[in-house]
Amino acid sequence: MTSSSPTAVQERQRLRQPYPHFKVVVLDDDVNTFQHVVECLVRFIPAMQPDQAWALAHRIDSEGSAVVWCGPQEQAELYHQQLGAEGLTMAPLEPG
């Protein structure tokens, strides 16, 4: 019979914690067209379909913002950077 040290138990518990997810949020602005927002979402967000992108573009316009993707931090940072580089107005990444 083995006894686990407190440090080993803490390490196992830390490893079991889920990887934190982050929200990628696009903000409404007076610069980007619906078409440009849709094209960017379809190009950079995996599995984004044009119909989905149009619905998100309308939500961005009517509500002022929309979560366009949520997932692991590293991917969220990439999509956030790519969309921002295309001129979309981005909210800071937030845990989600």
Asked whether residue 1 is domain-assigned, the answer is no
What confidence score (pLDDT) does residue 96 get?
86
Asked whether residue 42 is domain-assigned, the answer is yes
**Tens-digit pLDDT profile for residues 75-90:** 999 999 999 999 999 9
What confidence score (pLDDT) does residue 34 get?
97
Q: How far apart are CA 15 and CA 12, in angstroms?
A: 5
**Tens-digit pLDDT profile for residues 39-73:** 999 999 999 999 999 999 999 999 999 999 999 99
Structural domain of 31: 19-95
Q: How many domains does the structure of the chain reveal? A: 1
Asked whether residue 12 is domain-assigned, the answer is no
**Tens-digit pLDDT profile for residues 17-34:** 677 899 999 999 999 999
* CATH number assigned to the domain comprising residue 78: 3.30.1390.10
Asked whether residue 53 is domain-assigned, the answer is yes
Q: How far apart are CA 63 and CA 66, in angstroms?
A: 8
The three-class DSSP label of residue 23 is strand
